[in-house]
Copies of this chain bind each other. A is one copy, B any other.
């Protein structure tokens, strides 16, 4: 499933994900890698993202929002890899139909640091539902939170 995507597809995904999904931009979510079998990204700590005033801890909502978004991106990449016969724009257009059904986040350790990494992987891509697993890591690679989500893929 590890198909190399065209640069236009990756650029298109990045533009939609980082810019047009305005809340992702507010979070500062950036895509690092996009492949059919998994995606990764990162975000930088900023004062607005603090959840715990006394410890400068990242707000749990930034983690849940970020992992939800990354899971959706992983599904998009897996769909993209499955439909390499379609034109780039047609594949990108599928993003608009994706919706999160539900999400679980486990907060393992406090997210303190300047930069965090996010990873997501599709465990199953069906014709109607996709299931993903996500990880939120510190700059040192320590696992801080994990997630699981289901998405509807029209």
Chain A: residues with CB nearer than 8 A to chain B?
16, 20-24, 26-27, 47-54, 59-62, 64-66, 68-69, 96, 99-110, 123-124, 128-129, 131, 133, 143, 146, 148, 150, 152
Contacts and interface: CB of A to CB of B under 8 A. Distances in A.
Nearest to A56: B22
Query: Could you say how many copies of this chain the assembly holds?
Result: 4
Nearest to A106: B102
B101 A124 contact: no
| Secondary structure of the A contact surface, majority rule | mixed
Contacts of A102: 102, 104-107, 131, 148, 150
A68 B68 CA distance: 14
A27 B108 CA distance: 24
> Could you say which of A48, A66, A101, A143 has the most chain B C-beta atoms within 10 Å of its C-beta?
A101
Nearest to A101: B150
28 contacts: A16-B53, A21-B50, A21-B51, A21-B53, A22-B47, A22-B48, A22-B59, A23-B48, A24-B51, A60-B68, A60-B103, A61-B66, A64-B64, A64-B105, A100-B107, A101-B131, A102-B102, A102-B104, A102-B106, A102-B107, A102-B150, A103-B103, A103-B104, A106-B150, A123-B146, A129-B129, A131-B146, A133-B146
